[in-house]
Chains A and B, each alone.
Chain A
Amino acid sequence: MRDARVTTSILGVGAVLLMGACGGGESGARPWSLEASLAEAGSGIPFCEEVTARVAEFMSQYEGQMPPSAQYGGAAVVGSIGEIPDGMNGHVSQDYTASQHQNFVNLMTLVAYDADANPTPYLAESWEVSDDNTEITFHIRDDVYWHDGELTDAYDVAYTFERAIDPETGFPNTAYWTHYDQGPDGVQVVDSFTVTFRMRPHADYIDPWRATAIMPEHLLGDVPSATLRQHPYGTVCPVGNGPFIFVQHRQDASWTFQANPAFPQALGGRPYVDRYIYRNINEPTTLLTDLLTGQLSVYIRPTPDQAQAVLDSDAVDLLAYPFRDYILVGWNARRLQLSDKRVRQALTRGTNREEIVDALLQGYGTVANGSVPPFHWAFDPSVGKDAMSYDQDAARALLEAAGWEDSDGDGVRENADGERLSISIKYNEGNDTRQDIAEIMQAQLAEIGVEVAPTVVEWGTLLSQITDPVDRDFDGVVIGWVVEYKLDDTDLFHSSSFSGAYGWSGTMRPDVDRLLEELPLVVDRDEAKPLWAEYQELLVDEQPYTFFYFPDRLDGVSKGLNDVQMDDRGEWVNVKDWWLSPDERR
């Protein structure tokens, strides 16, 4: 399975010759008709039989309806590695692909972000915040129907919030709601389409409503919170209110959705494509083949070494854009060798990250010097740029200042007690890029007298080793974080997180603590920006991680699929506006 690299270089040659994706099929718009597969979803499960029958009944009024214009029709097929874990069950999931499908495909969020991360109305028509920033009132649209015909209302919103804060649910993103009042007065339904929440002032008070899909109270209201995870709603027969109706889920193979003819005109009406299909394909070479032969309209995240084959093809485009994740090498400062920040600085300065980004990512990425990715308003490219630039002499000087010198001439430095400057860097099995990083660091750091042992560990085991507050069985670890718009590093770098799951570095600084406490409370961005810069400079000095790079997100998109917008909000952000050129329809 590891051989993908060899075969994709062969693919590169083939792609030049590609004559064009196979299209065919009828190009005329088709009348709307509910797909028969829905009737089979969850047959034998009473809940599913009941709701799918209700969906069929409600949707029967749209049978035979012609789409408004010739721009409508066809099937958009998206291929990606992996299932959609937890499916459409927003109560228990935080998986990226799952959230994307909940928020943009099958369900709706109260607000959406525009390309500059400004909140815009979606399920909520409008909202007001009290002057003291302690109350927010949402006015919900009165024309959004659940696919079974019930109106979406304020009770659904209140219900979604109550489930999220109910500890029994085990909602994995508890931090979304920490500044919301979780007491009995926290949420108040004013009328059927108006709901008020109480909160403490916070810089990103609106952000949770961008990330949380509203769930149907009338279907799930009676289900005990602790068993929500196992409810067939999630992966067998979801009923949403979003632009696409669920019609079929084939386990470990595909999810099929159909355009929702009842989606409000004010929000753009029904999506352009008749069908949207998510396919789970596990092998990058197969995914690329499917894209290049026209079986897929979108290939989510081709590997960097496949980028050229995508670029060379006449039938597909490569989209590359900065995303919300970063790759890092986390240092365990509890270790003698790594306890001095000068050593950690030296490890960063002794590694040529620029070269690694060019070589491993074919340039699709930016060297990182902090935890704020380029998409974020608080990003400052100048932070750490010079202070952490590649400089072997500076790195050697730092190590000497910290008391590590090679006194016995074996090429590895020792301290006064004779301890060797020898560390391991762990990475997870099956990730070639991270393995390459560990191995290149081994070679480069050897030049400044640091012995590095790259160590491969199975993913689940690695997570246990680094998150166990007692053992912390690692020196360095190559890993990645995906950050949210609501950026908060408290669990990573605050002293109180020393024994928390994510306090990997174990670094503690009062000035970092103070800023981490202050930042979330500054509502005004202009006021917050200098504070963020100050915080980033402290991180550069402390080097709890060697922040490695911000990878660009890559996507392969068929040229026949138009108006595709993909950015830091995700691949599916405007899936309802995608439309297929007539000869690409099937």
Chain B
Amino acid sequence: MRTFVVRRLLGAIPLVLGIATIIFFVVNLAPGDPAMRFLNPNMSDAAAEQIRVNLGLDQPIHIRYVRWLGALAQGDLGFSFTRNRPVLAIIGEILPNTLILSFTAIGVAFVMGILLGIVQAVRQYSLLDSVASIVGLFFYSMPSFWLALMMVLLFSLFASVWQWPIQFPPSDIQSVDYVFLGPMEKVQDRLMHLVLPATSLALVLAAGIARYTRGSMLEVIRQDFVRTARAKGLSEPVVIFKHALRNGLIPVITLLGLYLPFLFSGTVFIEFVFSWPGMGKLVVDAIGQRDFPVIMGGTLVFANMVVVGNLVSDLLYAVVDPRIRYD
């Protein structure tokens, strides 16, 4: 097992470097100029050129690439062109926000989705199954940013207008007076801010997961070993959750491997709508501003997430399916 993990991680290094190299050249060769952000008749051409020099953009691209690689080897991702801080410090501040949102959403989505899928499979063609299918399809086919905007309108604006007992803040991860709150109030404040974005993400994901779980469970519960388990006299919950579910989960775990990296980049819309200071928003902003070091740093993080996501799902296969061994 350990050798498997080590081998996979080592194998990921050339992969990540390859991705980074391609992105480096695509980003640097694409039209656009970081100094253009200062576009203004008050700026002389000489000043524009000096800004390029100060940003290190006067060097030919291959030199810049070698320098960037050299710095990367020392764990240095360079300085942001617009935020004027080391990229590593920026990511250090931003990444946790994305992780909190993603893991909450993915946790909620899988718990909700799997449970719903099991119920639908066990009660196939019941009224519950039909309703859940329709509602699921509704959320699954809904653009996440639209759902997010509706959440803002309903649970922030209208909740305030109609004076609902509870309303949720539509933006940021904490309120402006966070520093003055006590420890328990701080936790509560963060949770309140998490509700809308996490729900918007989780609903869409859960709908898909429920579909997969339902399909895969339907296949499993018709198999002989499930009939055998029932014939042994095992109770229904044990049959479903112990015998059927473990086998039904295998395709769902593939889904986890796919969703993990998606969540780090796919939260972009959600992060924009809820002004969640996360990685997706950071990198999309950086692309617009031609903030090359931030784009590169963000891309590296995403690439690593893909690798880790796939590794985690591979390891989970072994957990649910004893036939799979990584020796």
Contact = CB atoms under 8 A, between A and B. Distances in A.
Interface of A: 1, 3-4, 7, 10-11, 14-15, 17-19, 22, 35-37, 75, 77, 79, 83, 85-87, 89, 92, 94-95, 167-176, 226-227, 229-232, 234-236, 248, 250-254, 256, 275, 277, 279-283, 285-287, 289-290, 292-295, 458-461, 463-465, 467, 481, 484, 488-492, 500-502, 586
Contacts of B48: 501
A215 B122 CA distance: 71
A464 B38 contact: no
13 contacts: A1-B272, A36-B179, A85-B83, A94-B42, A95-B37, A227-B54, A236-B85, A289-B153, A289-B170, A293-B160, A293-B170, A460-B31, A467-B39
A500 B169 CA distance: 48
Interface string B150-166: 10110011101111000
Contacts of A170: 47, 50-51, 53-54
Given A281-B171, A289-B152, 18 more contacts: A7-B153, A19-B163, A83-B83, A174-B44, A230-B79, A251-B93, A251-B277, A254-B172, A286-B273, A287-B171, A289-B157, A460-B32, A461-B30, A461-B32, A463-B39, A481-B41, A489-B41, A491-B41
B94 interface: yes
B140 interface: no
A252 B51 contact: no
B170 to A, nearest CB: 5
A176 B41 CA distance: 11
A14 B152 contact: no
B179 A464 contact: no
Given A86-B84, A230-B84, A251-B83, A94 B160 contact: no
A285 B43 contact: no
A18 B161 contact: yes
A464 B36 contact: yes
Interface of B: 30-33, 36-48, 50-51, 53-55, 79, 82-85, 90, 93-94, 145-146, 149-150, 152-153, 156-158, 160-163, 167, 169-173, 176-177, 179, 269, 272-275, 277, 281-282, 285, 288-290
Contacts of A95: 37
A169 B50 contact: yes
B189 to A, nearest CB: 13
B59 to A, nearest CB: 14
Nearest to B275: A281
B290 to A, nearest CB: 5
A489 B48 CA distance: 18
Contact of B161 (A17, A234, A253): A17
Contact of B33 (A87, A236, A464, A491): A464
Contacts of A168: 50, 54
B231 to A, nearest CB: 55
Contacts of B45: 500-501
Given A251-B94, A461-B32, A173 B160 contact: no
Contacts of A248: 179
Contacts of B41: 175, 481, 488-492, 502
B152 A463 contact: no
A226 B84 contact: no
A226 B48 CA distance: 13
Nearest to B149: A7
Given A19-B163, A463-B33, A252 B282 contact: yes
A167 B46 contact: yes
A463 B177 CA distance: 40
Contacts of A227: 54
A83 B82 contact: yes
A154 B163 CA distance: 56
B177 A279 contact: no
B160 A22 contact: yes
A106 to B, nearest CB: 15
A285 B149 contact: yes
Nearest to A252: B277
A174 B153 contact: no
Q: Which of A173, A230, A283 has the most chain B CB atoms inside 10 A of its CB?
A: A283
Given A292-B157, A292-B160, A75 B44 contact: no
A250 B30 CA distance: 30
Given A89-B84, A491-B41, A501-B45, A286 B36 contact: no
Nearest to B150: A7
Contacts of A491: 41
A294 B157 CA distance: 10
A501 B273 CA distance: 36
B15 to A, nearest CB: 29
Nearest to B268: A1
A4 B150 CA distance: 11
Contacts of A287: 171
Contact of A286 (B31, B274, B290): B274
A570 to B, nearest CB: 16
Contacts of A175: 41-44
B51 A172 contact: yes
A172 B42 contact: yes
A89 B290 CA distance: 20
A253 B275 contact: yes
Contacts of A253: 172-173, 275, 277
Given A37-B179, A293-B160, A492-B41, A226 B85 contact: no
Contact of A283 (B150, B273, B288): B273
A167 B47 contact: yes
Contacts of B177: 75, 586
A460 B30 CA distance: 10
Given A22-B160, A283-B273, A460-B290, A172 B47 contact: yes
Given A229-B54, A234-B84, A289-B153, A172 B173 contact: no
Nearest to B38: A172
A229 B84 contact: yes
Contact of B43 (A83, A167, A172, A254): A172
A285 B83 CA distance: 25
B199 to A, nearest CB: 15
B290 A295 contact: no
B171 A286 contact: yes
Nearest to B41: A491
B78 to A, nearest CB: 10
B146 A3 contact: yes
Contacts of A236: 85
Contacts of A232: 85
A463 B176 CA distance: 37
B272 to A, nearest CB: 5
A11 B149 CA distance: 11
Nearest to B163: A19
Nearest to B48: A501
Q: Shortest 4 CB-CB distances between A and B: which pairs?
A: A460-B32, A170-B50, A175-B42, A491-B41
Contacts of B90: 251
B170 A226 contact: no
Contacts of A171: 47
A119 B273 CA distance: 42
B171 to A, nearest CB: 5
B285 to A, nearest CB: 7
A293 B43 contact: no
A489 B42 CA distance: 10
A411 to B, nearest CB: 34
B273 A235 contact: no
Contacts of A279: 171-172, 176, 275
A492 to B, nearest CB: 6
A173 B161 contact: no
A286 B84 contact: no
B277 to A, nearest CB: 4
Contacts of B273: 1, 282-283, 285-286
Nearest to A173: B42
A442 to B, nearest CB: 25
Contacts of B157: 11, 14, 289, 292-293
Q: Which of A7, A37, A253 has the most chain B CB atoms inside 10 A of its CB?
A: A253
